[in-house]
Structure 1
């Protein structure tokens, strides 16, 4: 056998070995089956055209799955996790050798900015990444994407959610620096920065870095759902929200088939006190969520509906539209089953009745609130349960039922201890603010004015040192507003006006702070400010509110009752 023939035989043998190795690296049907992927037809509500924005993600997988891959990423960027996973599952069925499809499954199981994934989700994500890593046919950049999300799942059973989010952020930073021209790497890095942001960092270091990345891309990619969506999350903070207003007003038009895209702009509308836009946004998102629950066969209601209802009710209350808020509460009382039964659902069920009772100063209703009965294990949600006890405490103390208020304070302390044991420092701090607030009003009811004011100021300062959770449109009652209320009650009117104005600077167009500022300004003799705040309140709520405060406003402004 001459040398040439031997050389060709060796070439074919090596080729056979390489191909065989590549084939051996493909996952088995059993491995794929064990992932228990979500499957079925894509469900969308809102726009009938299945419009989710425009994405062009470069992959090395078979060209036949390219369109579906982009669709899956579009859905992923709007946090439509279940629907996105269905599309990734379809890709896996058609091209099981596509490593990035398993990366996509892992990304669908990671929920940045929402609640931490369940153990089931974490296990699925880790298994999907293991398969992706085992597949030989992938580019270096794809390996980097896979390794980045692996940084979140590695040792998931031994690492807390915040540490995993920071691991993902660092890995995405490396990916972004290695491939600076890759738009998707930049966008997912911005998301990772937001997810890993320190909630006590009032300089917003991560958010500003994310904003710089996203704004640099926005002009050329104005239909990209991830860029627009993450700009909204990035600037969902006092003092920053105006930067996201153009994106907020565009997102629903870019991805009108996504219930979350219909809702998400209301985060910015809420921050800026744009109540009519907030109401419109959430009426549309709630309707889309109801449609999704029906189309997908969910037993009961979908969690996104409850999230929208919380924001909707909050906006109604700020317009003084108590009748509409009460209609949402009546509707809420008919809901007995929601899926998934998660922290968003628990928050809405606790916050909506508490908000209505406290914002309208219906202290008897507040004092008698009960935990709603539905498919929720309330012992799993101590932060949300604390909202009910906080409302009961304020309702009791305002109704001069001091013993009942003290009982609720004991319950709040127990829930705070539970959160500390769970090492959930953020939520424990939220409960601690409620405890300080409760102690302040109990002290005031017992005639200890100095102690009450000091405790209430401490609670307000504590609340200002942190940020609100993305699950909520705002605190059930701002601690600084309650501090202003206490100062006003004690006729410390100049100080009360200062505190109301601080609330309005952080939470524009809040009904009770506008009215309180007007009252305090009038007591100090500043009729110009009183007129300004009363006119502002009348402009916002004069046509929709039947509250007694509006009667006083109209009388002062000489507006016919």
Structure 2
């Protein structure tokens, strides 16, 4: 027989369930919602549905709290569609819950990514207009007002200004509610979204990282904290501070393709190729699982993004076979999901360009054709520029000067197109295309025996590169300008200057195959046996498990056998 105490607890629990059911039945959907194309349906969660641990106490009905917290976790791992669907489940259950509308608006903001489309901005504005009419406490009102300033008057105010408004509001919340973990986390995310996208002082990234590192100590399984530490430290200066976090994040949210991938940003910055490969093999598998569950008609961008990182890592190990296998997965794809996201299109041009240029296969680069896709390449000037850069370098080095000149002219037109878009979020792209133009022209001049002009242009490209941050989409430029400067200096019989360039490159991009090989050659030509041995040994070490047929490795082994 049950004790009276237990009977009392069961009775209270039953009454609570009945009361909540009555509340739910009496709540009617807001008719305004029928005019908004909200995402609905079953949540598509691969694996065991683990997205980390958090508790956000501002959800409304108690019965919706687990769904609301899952929505927040999905939001923090950039599972934006599933996050919106989860928030809409809360709305459908509790249409008077203002924070659920806030969640929808946050899910279509994409603070760390590309700006929302016009369609999304209209949707976010409508959602928030409903939320602002609901009864709410002061903290809920502050959350609503914070994201509302991003959507307010979006027709007339640029994205950069509105993003800064959101950051300012979140800073005020961070100071007003010092015990609110989520306010601090979303403030850190806002800092990242308004960072200097070109410069290398990393002011916002350092500030956000300090906040997040402090929170991580007492919240070791929070997906947003780990994720945003990685994003803020995804640069050569700060990457070492995120290595431990990178190794933990995939375990925190194992069901997220993005969480499986994100550690590789740090592994790439630090030249840890095996761990980058392992992370992206898991990520691409998870992405395929999601794409299958969602019945997507196009290639899911998380898979394509992971493949780009895989190819980059394999190439740094000299493993052309594995890199080519990854390219085979994507070289005939024509449709993507989402269709307009630049992360989907970038690998389509970056991967074949890497395969040609990293191997100095100039004939392959010169003969490359733009992959046929069910979109107009004119929509993607930055991505298209990568293709023409590869063709220009290949053509210059095979002395097809007319094709090289034509490709450079196309690069100039694409550069102007990017400038004319007047979009601050594309500032890195503009700089990168400028680097490509100068680099291509430099090698064309070198092949035409205009050595002085060639070297001057190459150095100009390097100076721009030194002050330009890496774009978060890419594991790295298809070829760094400073590495190409080292190559040019070697050809011009300036091995000491070449060695300095290669070594400077390796400080920023450690364990790059071509950087190490170039440094070994330059050291050999300066009769620096110690450094020659150092770099040739490094080349053999990073490629030891790759069964590589790269001639550079054979050369390294031959030299070492000769001197030892």
TM-score under structure 1 normalisation? 0.93
Does structure 2 retain, via aligned residues, the 8 Å contact 1:542–1:550? Answer: no
Structure 1 position 201, deviation (Å): 3.1
Q: Secondary structure at the match of 1:68?
A: helix
Q: Distance between the aligned counterparts of 1:173 and 1:60, measured in 2?
A: 22
> Paired residue for 1:471, among 473, 493, 505?
473
Q: Corresponding residue for 1:153?
A: 151
Q: Deviations over 1:496-534 (max 9, x none)?
A: 000001110000000000000000011111110011111
Native 8 Å contact 2:268 2:313 kept in 1: yes
The answer to whether the 8 A contact 1:400-1:445 is kept is yes
How big is the shift at 1:30? 2.8
Deviations 1:19-69 (A, max 9, x none): xxxxxxx99533112221111111122xx3210000111215111111111
Please report how far the alpha carbon of residue 466 of structure 1 lies from its aligned counterpart in structure 2 after TM superposition.
1.2
Aligned to 2:226: 228
| Alpha-carbon distance between aligned partners in 1 of 2:45 and 2:87, rounded to the nearest angstrom | 16
* Contact 2:428 2:470 survives alignment (8 Å): no
Matched, 1:451 2:453: yes
**Residue ranges of structure 1 left out of the alignment (5+ in a row):** 1-25
Whether 1:273 aligns to 2:271 is yes
Does structure 2 retain, via aligned residues, the 8 Å contact 1:59–1:100?
A: yes
Instruction: Report Cα offsets for 1:98-151 as digits up to 9, x if no partner.
Output: 000000000000112221111111111111111111112x11111111111112
3-state DSSP class of the match of 1:38?
Answer: coil
Q: Which residue of the partner structure matches residue 367 of structure 1?
A: 366
Q: Is the 8 A contact 1:59 1:142 kept in 2?
A: yes
SS of match in other structure, 1:512: helix
Kindly state the Cα deviation for residue 162 of structure 1 after the two structures are TM-superposed: 2.1
Distance of aligned partners of 1:350 and 1:525 in 2 relative to their CA distance in 1, 3 Å threshold: same
Aligned counterpart, 1:531: 533
Q: Distance in 1 between matches of 2:158 and 2:542?
A: 44
Q: Tell me how far 1:559 sits from its aligned partner.
A: 8.9
Deviates more, 1:517-526 or 1:364-373: 364-373
Counting only pairs closer than 5 Å after superposition, residues 132-281 of structure 1 correspond to structure 2 as 132-136=131-135, 138-281=136-279
Say whether residues 1:42 and 2:43 are aligned partners. Answer: yes
Query: Where does 1:486-505 land on structure 2 (aligned, <5 Å)?
Result: 486-505=488-507
Question: Whole-Å Cα distance in 2 between the matches of residues 158 and 541 of structure 1?
Answer: 54
Q: CA deviation at 1:404?
A: 0.9
1:330-479 to 2 correspondences below 5 Å: 330-341=328-339, 342-424=341-423, 425-479=427-481
SS at match of 1:483: helix
Q: Distance in 2 between matches of 1:246 and 1:284?
A: 19
User: Residues of 1 paired with 2:156 and 2:267: CA distance?
Assistant: 39
> In structure 1, what is the Cα distance between the partners aligned to 2:513 and 2:433?
24
- Structure 1 residue 288 and structure 2 residue 289: aligned? no
- TM-score, structure 2 normalization: 0.93
Structure 1 residues 551, 295: CA separation in 2 closer, same or farther (over 3 Å shift)?
Answer: same
Counterpart-to-counterpart distance in 2, 1:30 and 1:321 = 58
Return the offset for 1:447.
1.1
1:32 alignment partner, SS class: helix
- Shifted more, 367-376 versus 304-313: the winner is 367-376
Q: Following TM superposition, by how much is the alpha carbon of 1:481 offset from its aligned partner in structure 2, in angstroms?
A: 0.6
| Deviations, residues 477-509 of structure 1 (Å, cap 9, x unaligned) | 101111111001111000000000111000000
Post-superposition CA distance 1:340-393 (Å, at most 9, x none): 122111111010000110001111111111111122321111000000000000
Q: Any idea what SS the aligned residue of 1:134 has? A: coil
In the alignment, the residues of structure 2 paired with residue 455 and residue 67 of structure 1 have an alpha-carbon distance, to the nearest angstrom, of 58
Aligned-partner Cα distance in 2 for 1:103–1:559: 68
Do residues 52 (structure 1) and 55 (structure 2) align? Answer: no
Report the counterpart of residue 557 of structure 1 in structure 2. 560
SS state of the match for residue 218, structure 2?
A: coil
The answer as to 2:69 corresponding to 1:70 is: yes
Aligned partner of residue 150 in structure 2, secondary structure:
helix
- Report what 1:30 is aligned to: 31
2: CA distance, partners of 1:521 / 1:54: 51
In 2: Cα distance, 1:65 partner to 1:93 partner: 10
The CA deviation at 1:180 is 1.5
What's the offset of the Cα at 1:160? 2.5
Q: Is the 8 A contact 2:84 2:104 kept in 1?
A: yes
Rounded to whole Å, the distance in 2 between the matches of 1:104 and 1:447 is 60
- Between the aligned partners of 1:559 and 1:171, the Cα distance in structure 2 is 66
Alignment partners' CA distance in 1, 2:89 and 2:112: 27
> Aligned partners of 2:393, 2:473: CA distance in 1, in Å?
23
Query: 1: distance between equivalents of 2:355 and 2:150?
Result: 39
SS at match of 1:219: helix
Give, in whole Å, the separation in 1 of the partners of 2:553 and 2:498: 20
For residues 554 and 545 of structure 2, the distance between their equivalents in structure 1, rounded to whole angstroms, comes to 12
CA distance in 2, matches of 1:356, 1:231: 31
* Equivalent residue number for residue 17 of structure 1: none
Corresponding residue pairs, total: 533
Instruction: Determine if contact 1:114/1:471 at 8 Å carries over to the other structure.
Output: no
User: Following the alignment from structure 2 to structure 1, what is the Cα–Cα distance between the partners of residues 59 and 266?
Assistant: 38
- 8 Å contact from structure 1 (residues 60, 139) kept in 2: no
Cα distance in structure 2, aligned partners of 1:161 and 1:476:
29
Distance 2:158 2:506 in 1: 36
For residues 128 and 376 of structure 2, what CA distance do their matches in structure 1 show? 31
Report how far residue 328 of structure 1 moved: 1.4
